[in-house]
């Protein structure tokens, strides 16, 4: 049984063979370069699958299941992703069918990347044992996945709630979502780049100030998530989540200020599977679907 996990992010995409226990065995990565269009990205991903299969000596048997974690709005029933924002240049795209056509007999599923990362962290990372678990991916954008007893909590008609666009400061910067001052516009990797204006010439003080502000807004967003969902544990992952150690004290301070009524003394932890969480979660969700 060869499981393949794919994580298509706004900046980079990853492909890996994943063990049934959720360990990445062989991996490949490449820039997503969404402006080339979805067909070009899919061709690159198929090449990467052949590469990891070859490196795993599994080229002949092929994959038994492929799980795709993808940024932005996706209909998990049809596999159609409609994301002109973090995947600029993509028309509405059926992300599942090209992989079913290329690997006949393989189970292929697609899932929102934050949901997939939540499943990855719950199965093999810091979410283990949490009944009500929140996963935050801080990257090019901000994604949030909610699990109850390991099950993805979906919105109306299977939609994904996009908690990364919670409005925190109505006088803040404009976001592509139509709001001003949403969490993503204030604290994503893109917001960090905008804040630093010229990241190649930033000094240490500029960088510290930017991280401090991201931590402040993230802490406030987590207070709101606690008010609605009352989780047992929260994990922070994604590319910018690698800076969690620099942010954790400020996040705790903001959450502590709101502790009187809302249960904000919940553990906030660095994601253990790191950038692999989405890829692992997608592969394991595909494995589950094999029956
Ligand atoms: Zn927004």
Q: How far is the CA of 104 from the centre of ligand 1 (A)?
A: 38
Q: How far is the CA of 109 from the centre of ligand 1 (A)?
A: 27
Q: How far is the CA of 174 from the centre of ligand 1 (A)?
A: 8
Place of tokens 């969700």: 285
On the question of pLDDT at 217 being above 70, the answer is: yes
pTM score above 0.85? yes
Both tokens of residue 212? 């401090």
Both tokens of residue 121? 């962290």
Tens of pLDDT, residue by residue over 105-149, are: 999 999 999 999 999 999 999 999 999 999 999 888 899 999 999
Q: How far is the CA of 162 from the centre of ligand 1 (A)?
A: 9
DSSP string over 150-189: TEE---GGG----GGG-BS-TTS-B-TTS-BSBHHHHHSH
Instruction: Report whether 279 contacts 18 (CB < 8 A).
Output: yes
Q: How far is the CA of 88 from the centre of ligand 1 (A)?
A: 15
Q: How far is the CA of 173 from the centre of ligand 1 (A)?
A: 9
Q: How far is the CA of 176 from the centre of ligand 1 (A)?
A: 6
Q: How far is the CA of 24 from the centre of ligand 1 (A)?
A: 32
Q: How far is the CA of 169 from the centre of ligand 1 (A)?
A: 11
On the question of pLDDT at 83 being above 90, the answer is: no
Query: 264 to each of 164, 219, 252, how far by Cα in Å?
Result: 18, 10, 9
Q: How far is the CA of 167 from the centre of ligand 1 (A)?
A: 8
Kindly indicate the confidence band of residue 190, based on its pLDDT and cuts at 50, 70 and 90. confident
Q: Nearest-CA neighbor of 71 among 168, 139, 148, 18? A: 139
Three-state SS sequence of 271-286: CCCHHHHHHHHHHHHH
Tens of pLDDT, residue by residue over 139-189, are: 888 999 999 999 999 988 888 889 999 999 999 999 999 999 999 999 987
Instruction: Report whether 274 contacts 243 (CB < 8 A).
Output: no
Q: How far is the CA of 22 from the centre of ligand 1 (A)?
A: 32
Tens of pLDDT, residue by residue over 13-59, are: 999 999 999 999 999 999 999 999 999 999 999 999 999 999 887 66
Instruction: Report whether 217 contacts 168 (CB < 8 A).
Output: yes
Q: How far is the CA of 164 from the centre of ligand 1 (A)?
A: 7
Place of tokens 């067909």: 39
Average pLDDT over every residue of 243-262? 93
């Amino acid at each position: 049984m060869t499981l393949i996990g794919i994580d298509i992010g706004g900046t980079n995409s990853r492909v890996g063979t994943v063990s049934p226990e959720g360990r990445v065995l062989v991996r490949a990565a490449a820039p997503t370069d969404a402006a080339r269009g979805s067909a070009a990205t899919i061709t690159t991903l198929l090449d990467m699958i052949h590469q990891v299969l070859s490196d795993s000596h599994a080229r002949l048997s092929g994959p038994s299941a492929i799980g795709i974690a993808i940024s932005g709005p996706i209909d998990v029933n049809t596999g159609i992703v409609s994301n002109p924002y973090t995947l600029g240049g993509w028309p509405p795209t059926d992300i599942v069918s090209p992989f079913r056509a290329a690997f006949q007999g393989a189970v292929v599923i697609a899932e929102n990347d934050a949901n997939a990362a939540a499943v990855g962290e719950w199965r093999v990372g810091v979410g283990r044992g949490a009944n009500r678990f929140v996963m935050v991916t801080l990257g090019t954008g901000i994604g949030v996945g909610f699990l109850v007893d390991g099950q993805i909590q979906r919105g109306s008609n299977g939609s994904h709630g996009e908690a990364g666009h919670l409005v925190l400061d109505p006088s803040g910067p404009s976001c592509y979502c139509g709001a001003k001052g949403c969490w993503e516009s204030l604290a994503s990797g893109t917001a960090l780049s905008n804040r630093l204006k010229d990241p190649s010439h930033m000094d240490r003080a500029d960088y510290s100030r930017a991280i401090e502000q991201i931590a402040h807004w993230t802490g406030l967003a987590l207070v709101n998530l606690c008010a609605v969902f009352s989780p047992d544990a929260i994990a922070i992952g994604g590319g910018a989540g690698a800076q969690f150690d620099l942010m954790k004290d400020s996040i705790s301070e903001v959450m502590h200020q709101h502790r009187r009524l809302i249960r904000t003394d919940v553990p906030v932890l660095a994601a253990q599977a790191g950038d692999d969480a989405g890829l692992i979660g997608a592969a394991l969700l595909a494995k589950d679907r094999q029956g």
